Chains A and B, each alone.
Chain A
Amino acid sequence: MAKRKQPGTDLEPVAGNGLLHRRMFLRGGAVAGVLGAAGLAQAEPLAVPEWVTKPGKRPQPYTQPSPFEQGVQRLLPDQNPLYEPGSASGRTPHQFLEGMVTPNGLHFEVTHNGVPEIDPARHMLVIHGLVKRPLKFTVDSLLRYPMTSRLHFIECAGNSASLYGSTAVKSSVQQLHGLLSGAEWTGVPLSVLLDEAGIDPKAKWVYAEGGDASSVTRSIPLAKCMDDVLVALYQNGERLRPNNGYPVRLLVPGFQGNMNIKWLRRLRLTEGPMQTRYETSRYSLLLADGKTAQFKLQLDAKSIITRPSPGYQMQGPGLYEISGLAWSGNGTVKQVEVSADGGKSWAVAALSGPVLPKMLTRFRAPWKWDGGPAVLQSRVTDDTGYVQPTRDALIAARGNKANYHYNGITTWNVANGGEVTHVYA
């Protein structure tokens, strides 16, 4: 009887081009054996640095990252891809981040006419329309409600839009996929406030309006609002950043980022959608035949490899951890697979828990790079059974003019010598 090989115990690949078993790093011994040899550098007495011999700085009231991390910045557009004078964005540098939570200073944003500086004492949230009692809430009064905290991703529906294009843009994961972040949001369930106002049975949609100089408005299905929408006041434990809607925003888990109305000031309950500019001429999908899919609101499952990714220089053959993010607006990440041979063979990645619904999930896979060409991809399956499509399959289904909701597979090419670039498979 042939002895069954224990995957990972002997660095036996589980998929092509050097992908190892996902639990390999947890098994210690084999890794030490491989990495240990490289660690035998020339012996030299250790230096005693000055930060050991002199007192450090005094604490600051609000701390900042190390000056050695100054390169970790959001990416601001150097040109305006939509040619809109009022629109701007800041993209999250996923190539430098780990885990599942995006730090507040690095959370992505899209604004349509600048970031307002709102005095919370003068801000108000109004609920009216098809309700029994139109109500206004001060920010202070919202802060007195029982709070709910949940972790959720927000992704702009236009994230990754360039991948609909005919040539692979040679850019970073930040430029290509940086309109995506994950955070812990704390606030009041919208259902609580709607119940307080008393919902007219005729109401089926909730029209939400932001209080900035672009007054972004979106219609949200009432059923969604009664399910898991939050009126959020806190982001990762502190009050919302102005860029992310201070003092109050909507959090609409798993739906188009644009619907998570920032600087929320008004909710009108309506029978039908209001056909606002942002749900007609924007955030709708122009299909191949010229028809337009409207109110495709849920962001389907998607994954990206964040390390290695373009800009990362491989440091010679050996063991690497492939690290990335997976998420689904329809539920929870069930499985992520990684390929190093352009999708010919796949290895199951380890998921770094907790794995939460409508939240980023960090995945990792050990990879023994032999120094030669490799083609890296990731593919997520969510708990509805949906499998992230290839770019070709996505475009075959809906054409290349949709602009929004690109969730096909992204491919990183690793060249001889270790340069990583974005390509189409």
Chain B
Amino acid sequence: MSTHKMSTHKMSTRKMFMRKVLILTALAFPAAAAEAPRLGQPITEADIAPWAIDIAPDGKGLPAGSGNAAKGEEIYIEKCAGCHGFDGVGQPADALAGGRGTLGTAKALKTVGSFWPYATTVFDYTRRAMPLNNPQTLTNDEVYALTAYILKLNGIIGAKDSMNAKSLPRVKMPNRDGFVQIWPGNLK
């Protein structure tokens, strides 16, 4: 009791007030992290790796391995043509090839070749979600080969070009500059 009194004597009225304000502020607006139970368990990036299969547009995340269009065509005929058609013409699933020069017309055809802005997305999406009846079963070499085949079908790379962690991010997609970022604004 006397100790408490002494400390109040030592402290100026203004300091006391500020101290109260700080305590009250902390109670009214608790810093989220301070108030949360903090139940997240530490995990290393190495342990996350089996899930972290995403590929950034600069190629970050691309695995070792490689493949070209010739190899890709074999896999495509076996595992992809049933839905995407021979030569990527589509039906019943999306067309993967063709449509270049149609985007500004009334009959726009959006394909990997005519529309997709980044080649890395082809690798990422194929590896994580294709084929639909068995996603995430293709080897990295197979995904590189399929990516190469789809790019070759669109005339973006040559038949003998090898796709790998170095070459794939360097592929410039024909419609890259056709994309205009709106965020954080809005469309008129």
Interface residues of A (CB under 8 A from B): 80, 82-86, 112-113, 126-128, 133-138, 141-142, 144-146, 189, 191-193, 195-197, 207, 209, 213-215, 217, 221, 223, 265-266, 268, 270, 272, 274-277, 280-281, 284-286, 288-298, 300, 330, 397-398, 401, 405
B55 / chain A contacts, CB cutoff of 8 Å: 274
- 1/0 contact string of B157-188 vs chain A (CB within 8 Å): 00000000000000000010011111110111
> Judging by beta carbons under 8 Å apart, are B35 and A135 in contact?
no
- 1/0 contact string of B25-69 vs chain A (CB within 8 Å): 000000111011111111111001001101111000000000000
**Minimum distance in angstroms from B151 CB to a CB of chain A:** 15
B180 / chain A contacts, CB cutoff of 8 Å: 291-294
A209 / chain B contacts, CB cutoff of 8 Å: 51, 54
| 10 pairs, A vs B, C-beta closer than 8 Å | A128-B48, A133-B42, A134-B44, A137-B41, A146-B35, A209-B54, A215-B129, A281-B115, A286-B115, A291-B178
Judge whether B75 is part of the interface by a CB distance below 8 angstroms. Answer: no
> Judging by beta carbons under 8 Å apart, are A83 and B90 in contact?
yes
Q: How distant is the Cα of A100 from the Cα of B69 in the complex, in angstroms?
A: 53
Which single member of B33, B37, B112, B115 contacts A144 (CB below 8 Å)? B37
Are A128 and B52 CB-contacts (below 8 A) given A86-B132, A192-B32? Answer: yes
Q: How distant is the Cα of A85 from the Cα of B103 in the complex, in angstroms?
A: 25
Judge whether B93 is part of the interface by a CB distance below 8 angstroms. Answer: yes
How large, as a class, is the contact surface on chain B? 35 or more
**Minimum distance in angstroms from B139 CB to a CB of chain A:** 17
**Minimum distance in angstroms from B39 CB to a CB of chain A:** 4
DSSP majority for the B interface? loop
Judge whether B138 is part of the interface by a CB distance below 8 angstroms. Answer: no
> Judging by beta carbons under 8 Å apart, are B54 and A274 in contact?
yes
Judge whether B149 is part of the interface by a CB distance below 8 angstroms. Answer: no
> Judging by beta carbons under 8 Å apart, are A84 and B93 in contact?
yes
B108 / chain A contacts, CB cutoff of 8 Å: 286, 290, 401
> Judging by beta carbons under 8 Å apart, are B93 and A195 in contact?
no
Interface residues of B in 72-91 (CB under 8 A from A): 83, 90-91
Q: How distant is the Cα of A134 from the Cα of B8 in the complex, in angstroms?
A: 44
A275 / chain B contacts, CB cutoff of 8 Å: 56-57, 117-118, 120-121
Which A-B residue pairs are the 9 nearest by beta carbons? A290-B104, A135-B40, A295-B183, A141-B39, A290-B103, A195-B33, A277-B125, A296-B182, A86-B132
Q: How distant is the Cα of A142 from the Cα of B39 in the complex, in angstroms?
A: 8
A401 / chain B contacts, CB cutoff of 8 Å: 108
Q: How distant is the Cα of A135 from the Cα of B175 in the complex, in angstroms?
A: 38
Q: How distant is the Cα of A193 from the Cα of B129 in the complex, in angstroms?
A: 28
> Judging by beta carbons under 8 Å apart, are A126 and B39 in contact?
no
**Minimum distance in angstroms from A299 CB to a CB of chain B:** 11
A133 / chain B contacts, CB cutoff of 8 Å: 40, 42
